Homo-oligomer: A and B are copies of this chain.
Amino acid sequence: MHITIDETDSRPIYQQIVDEIKRLIARGELLEQSQLPPVRQLATDLGINFNTVATAYRELQAEGLIAVRHGAGAIVASSKANKKSRLELRAPLRTALTQLVLAGHARSEVMRIVGEELRALSP
């Protein structure tokens, strides 16, 4: 399992980890029941604080995507996220699309970019 942290990314580190793992699950690279790396190991690999990884795992557990077993590591519990409200799904999409439009991209171009990202998500 490969995860990258980008120092220049404005998202907090724990959020980057959450997003990357979700992406791996969505892509099918992390299957249900498969093992996640131990918190301490991932923290060492990424050169970040132990608590930061723990926060990320806690968030993923709260969303029902992984199951953390005390002393036995974490596994992927489900490849389907908990029900999110319409707002939680739409607001981030709306914001992302608005930025693309304000950047000067025509509607057709935005659709092309979305298609590109979608294909990269589930190849």
Contact = CB atoms under 8 A, between A and B. Distances in A.
Contacts of A87: 6, 8-9
B93 A23 contact: no
A37 interface: no
Contacts of A122: 101, 107
Given A87-B9, A93-B96, A94-B23, A101 B113 contact: no
A95 B19 contact: yes
Nearest to A52: B71
Most chain B CB neighbours (cut-off 10 Å) among A6, A71, A98: A98
A99 B118 contact: no
Interface in A51-92: 62, 65, 67, 70-71, 79-85, 87-92
Interface of A: 6-12, 19, 22-23, 25-26, 62, 65, 67, 70-71, 79-85, 87-104, 107, 110-111, 113-115, 117-118, 121-122
A104 to B, nearest CB: 5
A6 B22 CA distance: 26
